[in-house]
Amino acid sequence: MKRNYKNEAIDIIARLTPELAAQICVNLAKVNPAALVRATHLRIWEAEARHLYLVEDKKIAAINHVRNYNPHMTLKVARDLVESWG
């Protein structure tokens, strides 16, 4: 049976505490330090929009959040970006 890592990741994020986040970062750095470095360079607006869409299931709010930080982005492009996450 294939594991559903996306749902598992969402569950982890939903119950994330500072201690758990620190533990995850240490473990990730041991296994794949490059992935940890790349993850810290994630744009904050993108992380917030992903949280809105994937955790809180607020698609329209996520699209609006993307467009607030990227006024040059059309509605269609913002929607396509948000939908590509899920």
pLDDT digits (tens, 9 = 90+) for 1-25: 678 888 888 888 888 888 988 998 8
Could you give the count of Cα atoms lying within 13 Å of 50 in the half-sphere of its Cβ?
A: 14
DSSP summary character for residue 86 = -
44, 56 contact by CB (below 8 A): no
Single pTM value for the model: 0.53
| Per-residue confidence (pLDDT) for residue 57, from 0 to 100 | 93
| Per-residue confidence (pLDDT) for residue 45, from 0 to 100 | 86
| Per-residue confidence (pLDDT) for residue 1, from 0 to 100 | 66
- Mark the ranges of the chain whose per-residue pLDDT is less than 50: none
| Per-residue confidence (pLDDT) for residue 42, from 0 to 100 | 64
| Per-residue confidence (pLDDT) for residue 14, from 0 to 100 | 83
54 CB-near residues (< 8 Å, 6+ apart): 10, 13, 85, 86
Residue 6's region, left for phi above 0, alpha for psi from -120 to 50, else beta, is: alpha
User: Which pair of tokens denotes residue 24?
Assistant: 């995850």
